[in-house]
């Protein structure tokens, strides 16, 4: 008899926790997208991607196109991974501005880029959404030409393209 009451109590407690977590997620501006595009080949669904206020940024899924854009010299490339990871390897010429330090580093970033610059943002790979978040912040600040390299550093490295390490270009 006590055993049955314990099971029923656990069931109600679990149900309450699930409902509470779904409610908090739905109300959070950084909630997890529960429906939408989950195919990692097509890029990451940003939190809030199904909300009306979400901003679309250009997503580039072709590593050869990214390489051509970077080699053209007209694109400013921003790596939004942490400095320790950036130092281990990054796309040559990429500037390091970690998403976690966005507010702290915003003045330095704005001293190196203008709203008319063509900017390409990347992070670790298709499962990383930091580049999308960073790009969205730039668009909200008035930057008109912002794109995200969806494949990120993982795809760049996988393609066998040049990699810079420890802040030294190859």
Q: Where are the domains of the chain?
A: 1-31, 40-158
For 146-162, write each residue's pLDDT tens digit: 999 999 999 999 999 99
Confidence of residue 48 (pLDDT cuts 50, 70, 90): very low
Percent of the chain with pLDDT over 70: 81
pTM over 0.75: no
Strands of 95-96's sheet in order across: 58-60, 145-149, 118-122, 75-79, 95-96
- CATH fold label, 40-158: Oxidized Rhodanese; domain 1 (3.40.250)
- The answer for 5, left when phi > 0, alpha when psi is -120 to 50, beta otherwise, is alpha
Top-confidence residue, 170 or 109: 109
């Amino acid at each position: 008899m006590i055993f049955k009451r314990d099971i029923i109590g656990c069931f109600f407690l679990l149900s309450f926790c699930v409902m509470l977590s779904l409610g908090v997620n739905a109300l959070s501006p950084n909630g997890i997208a529960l429906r939408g595009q989950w195919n990692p080949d097509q890029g990451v669904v940003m939190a809030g991607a199904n909300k009306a206020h979400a901003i679309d940024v250009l997503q580039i899924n072709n590593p050869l196109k990214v390489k051509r854009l970077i080699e053209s010299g007209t694109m400013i490339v921003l790596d939004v991974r942490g400095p320790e990871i950036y130092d281990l390897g990054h796309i040559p010429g990429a500037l390091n501005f970690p998403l976690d330090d966005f507010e702290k580093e915003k003045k330095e970033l704005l001293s190196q880029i203008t709203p008319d610059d063509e900017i390409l943002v990347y992070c670790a790979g298709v499962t990383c959404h930091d580049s999308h978040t960073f790009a969205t912040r730039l668009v909200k600040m008035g930057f008109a030409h912002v794109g995200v390299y969806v494949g990120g550093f993982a795809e760049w490295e996988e393609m066998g393209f040049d990699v810079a390490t420890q802040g030294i270009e190859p």
